[in-house]
Chains A and B, each alone.
Chain A
């Protein structure tokens, strides 16, 4: 069966599902196939108020990647809050630069801690090679400022996510020494003052990882595709 025929068959199964379990199975199968054509159906599944199906659809959209970004960004303006939250998680997982403003906004201001958490993580897993060289510096500054702010979120898990992203930023795109020192200073501050032992422990790991890495310097036009980007997390069950 070619991709088109397979996609049609699997999309039909989603449309024909008559119970939450059969919908979940159909979405899982469609997501696993990873065919571009299925993007609209997977996006629709974010709004069915079926968490299992939404999780599977997010995984599928992340696997498909860039093609899904534009339709997801259009969905963000949608009134359906539940679907919006899932869409932000998918965008965070894909890490496409076009979602930057959406992620910045969500990480700072969304009322749901799981959305703030995912968005904070997404800021660390951005695909930097997509950023035009002349914008790299200003975008980095923007992301850094946002992450420093988010590292003060009242929820431990959002601060934890911010630490993972600050670590990535310090290792992957160290371009301006002052920026790296702002990160290391913030880490020291968190070790001294953060109320949560889990967060403080993650900061220690970040400090260790940064010390062990020879610092990459981002040269304009140098593609970073070979650089180690942290695992984006599959299986968001």
Chain B
């Protein structure tokens, strides 16, 4: 889940973050460093500080094919960080190389690629995402054995954000997936693809679940789809105010995009009153 896992006491560029302080030139140069730790950190840093220079993009795209940095299990840490950074930088040149990453043997590289393709928003990746989603299906049914081989939550969220309504038949079965996070991602995508409240309500129901981690994930989902009827439930759920505020801000921005620029809708005012009470 995109925003639920990140540290919401985010580092501000004030003062120095952990680790060394880098310059842009250094960070780009470090992508080629002999020291694998420096490479890994530089890829994260370029994404964190939104360094969109051409040399950074080129260096990160090259890092998607890195062979030097391997975990004992065969994972590719540098590729993961490079894929995550490219999503944040918004450069369409990364789309094709990220689509290629959906075939990587490392689950976490595939997950990062799906998340970044979602952020880049280019529909050209839809067929590749559907292909990966179908790994979990037999026809239009879930596989009988619980299948955790693909980052289904990230794939479903990307398809929802990309408004790939042609893939509803393959998204819907995942509402029954044994993993809750995958169910939520499917409900989120179904809402975005169909605009039917029943899927938004399904997420609202999940706010009453008893696991904090899952409630946090649902908050992120509701913020992402901007489901207005969830506003009061979001404000009441048992989770950190920081996360509730982020979710409500998602609803608010959705409202603003839907109404004329000149006036504040009744819904927007309702959301802001709730936000004020959570400060």
* Interface, chain A (partner B; CB < 8 A): 51-52, 111-114, 117-118, 120-121, 154-157, 160-161, 164, 197-198, 201-202, 204-205, 208, 230-231, 233-237
Helix, strand, loop or mixed for chain B's interface? helix
Q: Mark B237-279, 1 if CB is under 8 A from A, else 0.
A: 1111110111001001100100000001000110010011111
In the assembled complex, which residues on chain A have CB atoms less than 8 Å from the CB atom of B239?
Answer: 237
CB-nearest residue of chain B relative to A237? B238
Q: How far is the CA of A155 from the CA of B12 in the complex (A)?
A: 7
Quick one: which of B12, B236, B272, B276 contacts A237, CB cutoff 8 A?
A: B236
B186 to chain A, nearest CB (A): 27
CB-nearest residue of chain B relative to A233? B277
Q: How far is the CA of A224 from the CA of B237 in the complex (A)?
A: 34
Question: Which 6 pairs show the lowest CB-CB distances between chains A and B?
Answer: A121-B279, A198-B249, A233-B277, A154-B12, A161-B279, A197-B253
Q: How far is the CA of A236 from the CA of B277 in the complex (A)?
A: 8
In the assembled complex, which residues on chain A have CB atoms less than 8 Å from the CB atom of B246?
Answer: 157
- 19 A-B pairs whose Cβ atoms sit less than 8 Å apart in the complex: A111-B15, A113-B242, A114-B9, A114-B241, A121-B279, A154-B12, A156-B249, A157-B279, A160-B275, A164-B276, A197-B253, A201-B268, A202-B272, A204-B264, A205-B268, A231-B277, A236-B278, A237-B236, A237-B241
**What is the total number of residues of chain B having a CB less than 8 Å from a CB of chain A?**
30
Determine if B264 and A208 form an interchain contact, defined as CB atoms under 8 angstroms apart.
yes
Known: A205-B272, A208-B264. A155 touches B279 (CB 8 A): no
**Is B14 an interface residue, CB under 8 A from the partner?**
yes
CB-nearest residue of chain A relative to B12? A154
Q: Mark B1-24, 1 if CB is under 8 A from A, else 0.
A: 000000001101111000000000
CB-nearest residue of chain B relative to A206? B272
Q: How far is the CA of A51 from the CA of B240 in the complex (A)?
A: 9
Q: How far is the CA of A237 from the CA of B15 in the complex (A)?
A: 30
Determine if A230 and B264 form an interchain contact, defined as CB atoms under 8 angstroms apart.
no
Determine if A235 and B272 form an interchain contact, defined as CB atoms under 8 angstroms apart.
no
Known: A113-B242, A197-B256, A208-B264. A233 touches B279 (CB 8 A): yes
In the assembled complex, which residues on chain A have CB atoms less than 8 Å from the CB atom of B275?
Answer: 160, 202
In the assembled complex, which residues on chain A have CB atoms less than 8 Å from the CB atom of B272?
Answer: 201-202, 205
